[in-house]
Structure 1
Amino acid sequence: MWEEKLGNYLIDISKYIFTGVVIASLFKDMGDNKWLIYGLGFTSALLALILGLILTNKKKEQ
């Protein structure tokens, strides 16, 4: 049960990170660090999404 809840939490975090990176780039010029911020943001969001999907898709033992 806790794995599924943690998975859902990580999926939500992934959405928030992705949205934060996109919205921040629209409102503020990142200068020289923009590709670093995009790369870290997208990598973090993707990692959280993958971990969340793995945790929510575990089959329950019967």
Structure 2
Amino acid sequence: MNQNFKNKLADYLLDISKLVFAGVVLTTILEFDMASKWTIITIGFYASGMIALFGFLLLEKK
């Protein structure tokens, strides 16, 4: 893969990670009754962490 493409993909994944995290925070603050609050927090943090980890792994490889 092209290094420029990897960097852009990594930046995109990190932005998506931030958006998922912000969505989790807003959902818990606004107290939507879609599911258990702890379920939403757990899944959101896991998804955000995994997306960020994949983004950082793409940034490190040269």
The two structures share one fold, judged by TM-score above 0.5? yes
The structure number with the bigger radius of gyration is 1
- Report the count of equivalent residues: 59
State the identity %.
Answer: 36
TM-score (norm 1): 0.83
Q: Say whether 1:58 aligns with 2:57.
A: no
CA–CA distance in structure 2, aligned partners of residues 57 and 31 of structure 1: 37
TM-score by length of 2: 0.83
Counterpart for residue 40 of structure 1: 43
Gaps of 5+ in 1: none
List, as ranges, runs of 4+ consecutive aligned residues in structure 1 with deviation greater than 4 Å.
none
Gaps in structure 2 of 5+ consecutive residues: none
Deviations 1:11-59 (A, max 9, x none): 0000000011001111124475111111110000000000000101212
Measured in 2, the distance between the counterparts of 1:3 and 1:32 equals 36
